[in-house]
Chain A
């Protein structure tokens, strides 16, 4: 909830007493209380518009009767409202009749048939005969872009697509053309749609004038089976409806209901159109075994037996701690739980980790630090009611597009402060008049956060006595910030102090503040210091300011949070219990029905690939990750995987990492399994099987259970329900949250430790090297995440080529223009790719998306810390 308090107003609707916040329009009050009022152009996420004129109600104030449009008329104290009177039905019906003059009755072949408000309202008002002469439009449908079909004969000019595109997506790709009888919807100059392809216009279109062309199966909504599940791409965790027809997953739609999930009916291009990774010809169909350099198809039993045999041999030879596993940020909680149970409980090895934790173990420490300092963070749905949003080094429109939707709503309803701290000049359009751009020099994130904190203290913008009382090492913190004066900060970041002061002042006001931190933070060596600086800034505001501070750790994939929650990290048992705590280990051993959990104290998992390389790991099991492509030390991984005597890789697609495995196991896709994901704001949400697994692939859950059996120690609990009960028992933070139907956030156990600032990590200005004058900013492309989406033909059509984004000034100096092919070269690696000259790219940096396997951005860095320095030249 925003800190803006709205007065409650009491009204009567159809005799029922209702109270609602001041300013709410009648239609919303009615809808929220399940009182049906016909309407076609109103949507809870959009501003009132009054285009369709079919929502008239009768209003009585002080004995005076009035007929008003309920979608624009706000409630007043003591108002008596009557819906569906003979009179209002007559008016509403007449307007509907006029809409039906033009609307074609091709319902049997319409995508919206069955979920169409025009049908519903026609039935509601009993319009069986139209008094007007029918004059249907008969224009051909427009298919000039690859995804969204415009069949404008069905358009009723409600303007919802235009408004959602503008207000919620901030794009304005669609708008009205002409007026009066000639009015229509279209793009500028009727050119093919070229936008973020979020598909929100399809979601809100009430009549099937805009349709999803990505799916082969079309037509009547009633012929599809709906499966409510959670998206498997980014960590925002949108609820999606996987729609199936004849056993095939054919399309994905959001669930347009504010009470379902965290996304309030919003979805992005990847979530909506990226479903072709489910039925895909590139999927691995059977288990494969590497025999003399080429893969041979084998049965599951042969694969399990080979793995079990090699596991036992490895353990006999070097002890249990020579077998290690990498869990997946894309597998469900239950699967990850079983994976660590397999290693800890069955094999006796604590050498288990996940790629995010391996790269940046400080992210988990940061999250636990926030809890310790009292910032447990509200459910992310409340972002729509934020007062201040700090988007810190996040390419939000690509990284968390749906977060952008919520923020734009906060901008409209609360004029929220939007602070964008990023080296790039991100495009983020919204309707708030309070925007602060903290455009800093690449690599100076820490100085930005620390300068803001210093201003809060120096200008006494927060209650310093209160903060000092609440946090033990307040004085140390103040002295650690001593250096961050205006000049220092301006030199380091390139931001003038007026901007800093404005941002600090807005941050300090009584507000609900949300900090969204981008995954870019994980790229640099100083990531831990940056997160600590943000943790301290948050703690200062939390302890000395009014309102709330909600701060979420950067997480990339759909279950990057859950994989850590489930204990797939050497330091943590499930539920973040210390893996060295003998009491916790004993309790876990008892639950698992084994004698004892004794690990020999070696920590090989924290530098796993180095340990593979030096021969101290005999067996590596990678469940659903592609470190060769995604890990920042590409060459080290290659060396490590070559050295490791036995490598098992389990994945949906034949990745580069699969290619070098000894055994490859085909995993089922997210649409083919049951379980839960936990999103970056700790909401535990249901993943629901919509179809049967492709080929011989199996859910990771089944694979781990069957492997335990092949090893001679089957899990006692091998059904989803039982494993979920076990998780709730072992990790109390998950108690009552599974099977995830209710989408609730887990609450950390209360900490006995006193809040404290995390001090240390002096700011070092990172400069590009002379011979490599530019630095790389690498993150996910707007239409891609990880490498799975590259198998989606639709997303590939939207973004076929990897393009390096370059600032116009740099491009001019190097005589490079958009469309040129360039050589990008670092000390470690070089490759060629296309260039796009864009003012979004910061001067001195090159933005390269990391999703193209043929453009291995990770190899440029290859383990080097600091900024990845490169030079760019025109290709021959």
Chain B
């Protein structure tokens, strides 16, 4: 069962007043974010609950949620690493850097470490080509990556 917490409810209230009642479905992105903030990811039950609030079917909520890569539909670690694999980063050898990271964390791309600390994901373009290769860990950007730099960053987070 999924239920919004009191803090979440207050936040939802704030979001809903932004839209006319007959167009409340516009608040879907905000509600997905609130659900994720609360539980770390958006579960199927959470999608159902959001659908109930906004008069949308769970299928519709899932279509929106799964369109955006920054909503997680499964539990993630404390740190989510989003590794850019788009053109500029690709030309600067991001594939090998990603593999290096995966090996260091001892997981496959897309997985979460057993201690629930790290989740490693591929991400299309993080809009930071000038400082490629780039990865994002939660809300922080890490740029001009090298294997050594990655080791340093990961060690500092442990």
Contacts and interface: CB of A to CB of B under 8 A. Distances in A.
Contact of A176 (B22, B56, B63, B124): B63
B61 interface: yes
Given A172-B56, A172-B57, A189-B58, A177 B22 contact: no
A189 B62 contact: yes
Contacts of A186: 59, 62
A176 B67 contact: yes
Contacts of A178: 66-67
Interface centre among A179, A180, A186, A188 (most CB of B within 10 A): A188
A171 B57 CA distance: 8
A187 B57 CA distance: 10
A172 B59 CA distance: 7
Contacts of A754: none
Interface in A138-168: 162, 166
A176 B65 CA distance: 10
A365 interface: no
Contact of A179 (B44, B47, B67): B67
Interface string A547-572: 00000000000000000000000000
B44 A175 contact: no
Given A175-B60, A188-B59, A189-B62, 17 more contacts: A166-B60, A172-B59, A173-B57, A173-B59, A174-B59, A175-B62, A176-B63, A176-B66, A176-B67, A177-B62, A177-B63, A179-B67, A188-B44, A188-B61, A189-B47, A429-B55, A433-B22
Nearest to A189: B44
A172 B60 CA distance: 7
B48 interface: yes
Given A172-B60, A173-B57, A174-B59, A188 B67 contact: no
A330 B56 CA distance: 39
Among B48, B59, B67, the one with the most A-chain Cβ atoms within 10 Å of its Cβ is: B59
A187 B59 contact: yes
Top 6 A-B pairs ranked by shortest CB distance? Answer: A172-B57, A188-B58, A175-B63, A189-B44, A175-B59, A188-B59
Interface in B46-101: 47-48, 55-63, 66-67
A353 B113 CA distance: 77
A173 B60 CA distance: 8
A179 B60 CA distance: 14
Interface of A: 162, 166, 171-180, 186-189, 429, 433
A166, A172, A174, A179 pick with most chain B CB within 10 angstroms: A172
Interface in B6-65: 22, 44, 47-48, 55-63
B22 A188 contact: no
Most buried by B among A174, A176, A180, A433: A176
Nearest to A170: B57
Contacts of A172: 56-57, 59-60
18 contacts: A166-B60, A172-B59, A172-B60, A175-B57, A175-B59, A176-B63, A176-B67, A177-B62, A177-B63, A177-B66, A179-B66, A180-B124, A186-B59, A188-B48, A188-B58, A188-B61, A188-B62, A189-B58
A733 B18 CA distance: 58
A162 B61 CA distance: 13
Contacts of B124: 180
A433 B21 CA distance: 11
Nearest to B69: A179
Contacts of B47: 188-189
Contacts of A173: 57, 59
Contacts of B59: 172-175, 186-188
B147 to A, nearest CB: 29
Nearest to B45: A189
B56 to A, nearest CB: 7
B84 to A, nearest CB: 15
Contacts of A429: 55
B158 to A, nearest CB: 32
Nearest to B23: A433
A603 B77 CA distance: 83
A188 B66 contact: no
Nearest to B124: A180
Contacts of B58: 188-189
B19 to A, nearest CB: 13
B90 to A, nearest CB: 16
Contacts of A162: 63
A244 to B, nearest CB: 35
Contacts of B56: 172
Interface string B121-141: 000100000000000000000
Contacts of A166: 60
A176 B67 CA distance: 8
A176 B59 CA distance: 8
A189 B2 CA distance: 15
Contacts of A171: 57
